[in-house]
């Protein structure tokens, strides 16, 4: 396992994204931030703690067939609780890989009558894309690698690492935070 994005780089970039989001939604009194469980949680908390605009939070949980595969059929395991009709929705995701998960959720949010829908994703694995997805706020573009940490898992492990690491041959030594 090797560190791809350090804790300091994550903090710096999340702060930059927060400033952009805060500025863009400054006039909105109806922002709803929707996270996709479970991977987006660390990113979402760090981002939202830095916002000053009034906002509500909610969560989706999705599943695709197979532990870490994305064959295109996305199921909603947990729907949001709030009505988003007429709201400004900011969808928050850990990583856009094939794009199937986000495509499905973005279409659903628009169908339900949100006033605006934007996407904030920490990581963009563009080389893996199968469905076109517009990322309004993107943290980092990464190569087609399997990454863990800062919310991202391999078989539910490594989510709590404070950095993003590349998992090469499977569970080896976990580097200590730098
Ligand atoms: P998509 O539908 O293919 O874009 O898949 C998105 C979901 O797959 C993400 O929300 C992650 O949960 C998972 N995923 C995709 N790539 C990775 C990775 O490199 N590490 C961990 N999870 C990943
Ligand atoms: Mg996810």
How far apart CA 108 and CA 103 sit, in angstroms, is 9
pTM metric for this prediction: 0.91
Q: Which residues contact 95 (CB under 8 A, 6 or more apart)?
A: 39, 121, 122, 123, 124, 125, 147, 152
Give the residue, 9 or 64, on which the prediction is more confident.
9
How do 147-148 and 164-166 pair as beta strands? antiparallel
**45: Cα separation from own chain's centroid:** 11
**Helix residue ranges, H only, the chain:** 7-24, 41-48, 100-111
CA-to-CA separations, 97 to 13, 66, 140, 142, in angstroms, rounded: 20, 15, 13, 10
Look at residues 7, 39, 2, 13 and name the one whose alpha carbon lies nearest to residue 159: 39
Reply yes or no on whether the pLDDT at 62 is more than 70.
yes
Q: What is the pLDDT of residue 167?
A: 87
How far apart CA 112 and CA 49 sit, in angstroms, is 27
pLDDT band at residue 74, thresholds of 50, 70 and 90? confident
Nearest-ligand number for the alpha carbon of 143: 1
How far apart CA 164 and CA 149 sit, in angstroms, is 5
Residue 97 designated active-site = yes
Nearest CA to ligand 1 atom 5: 97
Lowest-pLDDT range of 12-21, 111-120, 133-142, 163-172: 163-172
Render pLDDT for 34-49 as a digit per residue (tens, 0 to 9).
999 999 999 999 999 9
What would the two tokens of residue 84 be? 């988003």
Nearest-ligand number for the alpha carbon of 155: 1
CA 25–ligand 2 middle distance (angstroms):
24
Over residues 93-101, the mean pLDDT reads: 93
Over residues 109-130, the mean pLDDT reads: 96
CA 37–ligand 2 middle distance (angstroms):
6
Question: Pick the catalytic residue: 88, 94, 97, 124?
Answer: 97
Q: What is the pLDDT of residue 26?
A: 97
List, chain by chain if needed, residues with CB within 6 Å of any ligand 1 atom: 36, 39, 70, 93-102, 146-148, 152
Nearest CA to ligand 1 atom 15: 97
Over residues 77-90, the mean pLDDT reads: 97
Render pLDDT for 142-162 as a digit per residue (tens, 0 to 9).
999 999 999 999 999 999 999
CA 98–ligand 1 middle distance (angstroms):
8
Q: What is the pLDDT of residue 39?
A: 96
Over residues 70-95, the mean pLDDT reads: 91
Q: In what order do the strands lie in the sheet with 31-37?
A: 74-78, 55-64, 31-37, 88-96, 116-124, 137-141
The angle at the Cα of 16, spanning 46 to 35, to the nearest 5 degrees, equals: 40
């Amino acid at each position: 396992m090797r560190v791809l994005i350090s804790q300091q780089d994550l903090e710096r970039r999340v702060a930059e994204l927060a400033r952009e989001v805060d500025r863009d939604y400054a006039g909105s009194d109806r922002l709803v931030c929707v996270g996709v469980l479970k991977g987006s949680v660390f990113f979402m908390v760090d981002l939202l703690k830095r916002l000053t605009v009034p906002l509500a939070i909610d969560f989706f949980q999705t599943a695709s067939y197979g532990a870490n595969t994305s064959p295109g059929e996305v199921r909603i395991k947990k729907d949001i609780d709030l009505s988003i009709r007429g709201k400004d929705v900011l969808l928050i995701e850990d990583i856009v890989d094939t794009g199937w998960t986000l495509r499905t959720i973005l279409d659903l949010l628009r169908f339900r009558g949100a006033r605006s829908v934007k996407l904030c994703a920490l990581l963009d694995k563009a080389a893996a894309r199968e469905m076109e997805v517009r990322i309004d706020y993107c943290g980092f573009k990464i190569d087609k690698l399997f990454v863990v940490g800062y919310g991202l898992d391999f078989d539910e492990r490594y989510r709590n690492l404070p950095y993003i690491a590349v998992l090469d041959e499977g569970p080896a030594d976990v580097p200590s935070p730098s």
